[in-house]
Structure 1
Amino acid sequence: MLPLWSVFVAVLFLLLSGEKSCVIRSTAESVVQRGSSFEVFCTFNLKCIGYMYSGQGPIKQRHEVLNSTTIYFKVVNITENRTYSCQCEGHKELDPCGLDISVGYLPDRPKNISCIYKIIKKESGVVVCTWNRGRDTNLRNSSALWVKTVSGNHTDGPVPYKLSNKGTELLSVNFTVSRSVQLISVWVQTENPLGSAQSSIINYTLSDIAMPSTPVLSELNCSSRMCVIKVEQSVKTHYLEIQYRAEQQTWTTYEDSVAQRNSSLWSISSLEPYRLYYLRARSKFSTGLWSQWSTNNLTWTKEEAPAKELDVWFAVDSKTMRIYWKEGNMSISRGKIIGYEVSISSPNNITITNVSADARSYSVQCCPSCEVTVRARNSKGLSPPAKVTTHLTEAKPLHKVQVRNDSYNITISWTKPETAPSPTAYLLEWYPEGNKLEGLRWVRLGKNENHTVISGIKPFECYEGALYAFYNESSFSKTKFKGVATLESAPEAGPFVQENIEEKNNVKITWTELPRSQRGGCITNYTIYLETKEQSPGGTQANSVPASERMYMFKGLRPAEYSLWMSASTGRGEGPAGQKTNFFIELKQRYVCNIKQTAQLHLILLFTQCCYKTFPSSTFQQFFTFSFSFWELFQCFMLDVVPDPANSKWAKECTQEKLDSSYSNVSREEEKVILVDVEELPKHNSDTPTSRKIFSRVTPPTSLSSETEPVIPTTYIKSFSHDSDSSDHTHTSLDTTVDYISSHGPGNFDEEDDEEKVEEFTDMPFIASHNIFIEPLVFGGKLTLDAVKIDCSDFFQNI
């Protein structure tokens, strides 16, 4: 058991721990008006150093000392609720003292009092009064509606109808009154801790504020032009007002007197077929206020056959005419379109085609004498036919047609012709450039209009179109316009180029249009760039081509390697270059010789070979120089008529042999060396023919050493044959492709010979060998290679 003194100390500790260290008070009440100023005092119960705190934290305040036990703090222009507290320094075991100050406003005087007498039953009704309490006081207010009633000579009241509110601007009170009450007087009183306010007294005659309950619409039954509606009300009224409207239209009011009717059914006429209508109703006593509108009721009227023909237009290409039509609006279609009927009438036949409801065009073959009609179909029937007439007489186009564009629209304006006849109507069509069949749009205009604005234009898209003026059913004029865009930019890419090398070093360039997404607007021109590998920087050739072109021809290009690319331009500038393409123009030398030249050449070669073996080297070189000069002069006297070497027996039996290796030491110091295949007859000391490559230069040498065979320019037949002394078989040329030039000399060619291919002769030098001529040269009759075969094996043998 604890000692007695221990219990006493514990009790004393508990008492001291719950004791306040001070007492706090204010010169104002606990609720003050916003902007008030006052003082807060703290008196401490023991001798200590005291401090005052306020606000969030709390925050230590700069207080003033009144005496040894009391401090105070001056509060100036308070704007919000505050808590003030004091604490004794060094005695944290003691509780601080605190004070809460609330800030608010005096209540405003209630205003805008309005009362309505809603009659729900025959015996009684409900009065609903509303008012505006004014600004929020930031304090809890209490309001009361005071009501005094008058029934004949009897007065009751006043009776308060209280309600508590905080932060609500519009207040309302309902109370029930008997149908015997004629007058009421109402006023509103509002109060809070800072004070109270009262409105003025307002007197009402209940018949002036009487309002019937909201009507209820039911059993709506509609035809195509009229709806029958049943109206239900809890009390009998004198007036009923019904309003109706189609979607996105204004309300139309239908009003009638209920007192003159014995039925609750009402008929609303003058409606349009196949429309969704909204209907609502309200009622009123002979005096008083209109009831509230009923909820909107929705109903559809029935369908009718389409009342008007479709808006139809057409586009024609080389073989096809495509018919376009616009979907009629609700007033024209008068129902849900379930399809279209396209009729093609020719002098001998009528073809009717049903098209789906989603279609807006139909293609037919061009028929100048045909008439095309289009009709829309709904559940009740077909529309009147819309005729498409293509065989119209074209008159002179309109003058002064102007096209202006801005960032969003295109404006077309024109001047009416001053001379008769005057147009009866206009039609404007427009479509993306080059895409009429897919993007055609149009609008019909009256005869008195002289301009229109096209909206919905895609940016960075080029448009073209035409303005039509119709003078009668068979005459019209057409004025075209093109290259119109709202927003433009330089093209995003260059065209893809293809080249084709033709004869005479001509190069044909073709390209395709840029995709619409890359054009940036209306293409004004293309630029073709041509550059050779040998050109110095800056030497690129640029050629501008109109935007309508798709082909360009480079003529007579010299042999070289070329690079080619293109770019496209709009009004905003030139786009980037397209992909480069490279091509090469080769150097080609083609000459034609005849058989007489070949025979004469063989004689010269034979004579030269014999001289070379007989005479000294120096004498032969002089002779070679003279022979070459003579050959150049001799070519001027050659015949123009060239017999066909491919038709000879000798050419068909020709063999391919190469020159002997003893002639391989030909000089290779010339500027250009050409590798050719040359066929050679075998020497007497060798039975096996050999084939080899030899080099020849374009310019003949001026001098030859004694170890080098002479090189003589001659016309070389690429394929020929000979009869070998040691072998009876025929050697075939390695080059099997044979082109030929037909002979215009006397004699006829065999049918088999006409089908053979003979290659053009190429003028180039080669090294001659002996034993070339086998048979003597004979002229006369039909000149063929068989006739000019020469055998001179023993020629000059005795020299």
Structure 2
Amino acid sequence: MLLLVIVMLLAFVNGVRNEDDVQPCAKVQTASTVVPLGSPVSATCVIRDNCPLVIGQAVHIEWRLGDRLFPGSLVANESGMGSEVVIPSFNHTRGFLTCCVQASTLQVVGGVEIRAGYRPEAPQNISCQTNLTTPNTLTCSWDPGQQETHLLTKYSLHTEIWDTNENFTYELPAGVHRYIIPRTGFGLFSDMKIYVKAVNELGEATSAPIILEPVSAAKFDPPTILKIQAESKRYGCLKLSWSLSQQQAWMRDLRLNLEVRIKTADSSYWSEQPILVNRVRPARSVDQCRLRHGTQYLAQIRVRYQQSPWSEWSSRQSGVTLETAPAGRLDSWMKVSGDQLHKQLNIQLFWKPSKQFRANGQNLSYIVSGKKLPVTNGKVCSTKGNYCTFQLPERAKKIYLSAVNAAGKSSPTEVRIHLPKDRAVVSDVSVIPQDDRSLLVQWKNLVSSTLIGFVVDWRPLLKTDLSLTQFEITDRNQTRLVITGSFEPYKPYGISVYPRFKDGIGLPQTVNAYSRQKAPSMVPKIQIKKSWQSHVELTWDEIPLDQRNGIIQSYKVFYCDKKGTINVVSAEPGERRVVLKGLNTESLYEAFMMVSTSGGSMNGSTIQFNMDPFDAVTVVTTLIVSGVGLSLVLIIIVMTCFSNHKRLKGRFWPAVPDPANSSIKRWTSESTQDSHLDWDNEEPNPMYLSHLSFLELPVKLSKEDDDPWLSNKEDTSDLGESICGSPFLSGYCGSNSDSVPYATVIFSGPCDSLTSKDPHVYLRSESTQPLLENEESVTPKCYQNMATDGMQSEQCFFGPCHNCVPEEGNDPRILWDDFPFLHSLTLNDTQID
């Protein structure tokens, strides 16, 4: 529009030279200023002869459309110079076509605005809806078509009432495609013709008319269900009584179409296909049959007249069909454990209706019996729940489960009893949340010829009520199952997969699962358990199950020193400890813990700690280790010395032979040197002599004064002390020795001298062990050597001496040949001064 004003001003300025001349310099004409979009456009331009722009100048005329130039052709005209142009395709919805004169400069002398668009389409999809509430109206709407006209298009609604021959036209503002007809413009039960007309500058179009009865276009208010009841002797049927709303109750004689949708009281979904009842009056009830017996149903209805829109659904009402005895079998799941003390089986039995089961009643209860026939004394459990716990003898093999209502009892379901089997064929159980109402359980199984299927068992872990336990039974080829139910978000559920064998139930695999997870509600407090050198061990308590809000993925401990250097140490979900290493004993540290689940993380409170420069634990540990090491070294040295020095070993551990079980014949030099005390026996080795010492007498002993064996004193208990105090045995004192030899043999010469004439002297040992079995007798036994006046000494070394007199001609010393070791101890007559 602004460009048009500029063109007209230019034309006016160029074409007017004085106030008396008001005619334009040129005139532009076209067949139509509104044309179909894309059609050709032709125009002519006539320039007056007295136009100042062309007087005395060679003139060239050009055409311009927008920014494009079009050449024109000259035409003869009585009024002046003329030019004609043809534009083959006008592709603009709106444009200015101007005529220009090429003189010294290009001057615009005239122009015209051209608009383009399309004819209107015929309106489509006319629909009308009657409102039966006050005020009564008829609202009609239509579709203007898919194509934009680009031109101003007006619509008008036309109605013709056939009964009264009344015609009404309703003009609509541009762009409006909906109109509300008042109650005076129609009759509820009179047919009427309705159509719409569209008009613009290129033409008009009229829709196809529709014929309707306004009441058939009425959307009724939601109806009301008055009552739902079961009829006598009509099993599986319910009768519904209903009516229209109070505002529409006056139309009770109309025959309406009715739809009924129903569902059981425990179901979350309505029936997929509503039940249609045609041409029914509001005062007449309708029957719904083929329903389950003894089941509570919820019902809703909606109505319409002929092809009118359906009303909204009514409020729901409930009703119960007549009861019959339960039918079908129950699905069961049994957990068995043995009680060896009382020879009983502890049983937990769970059940649920199978797909074929029909309760056929409201007040349903269940009976578990050990006998198939309904015998009172065979009943072990009766409940209205979905589980039962009881005990049976170990010999029990099966039980029977029945459902009972007021009308009767179902056929019993046989449940076999199997003890659990120690077989594990299930592994890698995982749970993937699908949504708030379902979880996907997956597992792997090993190949087993006796495997017949699986049982998936789940329950909320924060509740102990066994009635919340649910289960599903699958076949052997199935390794995944979607379980559904009301899973609470952020709450843990225990899910177990049990293998089923022909002869029992195997070992399960159990995992915890959540439908949704979030960050834990709490973080445990960090505690310092111990510290040593530059290390600190931190521990914490386990998060309560109801505070986790998910499966714990990790524990992370963040700690930093006064310089701000941050370090992180992670712990596995099953551990509750970390060790911080490489700490500076002169720095103050801060630490906090972050606990994470797959749904989020939470940080705990911060603690501060520092390292003590003196570590008492380390000092004590070092001292203990050093002491133990030193003791081991000393023990090794001592043992080495003892093993290499048998005499030292004999000094500390002498073996004292038992006189009652000993024999001088066994006192060989070899056995004496190698004898040792058995470490496992407290008594000394009775078979060998552990020590034999040879003492050389520098002075001859007096037979009567110094030989203790010849003393007339009967008390010999102090002989050891007398020997210890003897001047001849100054280096020997048996009383102060830890271990003493049984006897000491003293020679007047070297041990290997056999030519000495001095008699050998045998001294009594300091040992208090009795030498004789019967010490009441003072008569010496054969193993003693007694010297008497005028008699030769008796020599006998084994047992009592019965025939000790030697044969004539034989030297008594020949007896020593049988004792190589004692051969050097041969007794010779010795004169005692």
TM category (shorter chain) comes to 0.3 to 0.5
Scaled by the length of structure 1, the TM-score of the pair is: 0.39
Larger Rg: 2
In the superposition, the TM-score normalised over structure 2's length comes to: 0.38
